[in-house]
Amino acid sequence: MSYGRASYPKTVHCNRTSLRKGINNFKSSYGVLKKWYSGEVWLKENSIVVAANGSNDGVW
């Protein structure tokens, strides 16, 4: 939320909007994510990958 508030000052009074604006700046393409995931052993062992099949995935 802090990044969203800093980047979009109009969202300072709404946690949900601040979070949404901040998250939207960190969406990676599939190719970038696949390369990063394949090259990091720690990441493979300590994370899960979740994919949504919708146009509004991850946004309230």
Q: Convert the pLDDT of each residue in 3-46 to its tens digit.
A: 778 877 888 888 888 888 888 777 778 888 889 889 999 999 99
Contact (CB, 8 A) for 24 and 1: no
Residue carrying structure tokens 């969406």: 27
Kindly state whether residue 15 falls inside one of the protein's structural domains.
yes
Range of the domain at 16: 2-45
Listed in sequence order, the residues at least 6 apart from 52 whose beta carbon sits closer than 8 Å to its beta carbon are 58
Whole-model pTM: value is 0.44
| Integer Cα distance of 10 and 21 in angstroms | 11
Number of domains in the chain: 1
Kindly state whether residue 52 falls inside one of the protein's structural domains.
no
Cα 55-56-59 angle, rounded to 5 deg:
155
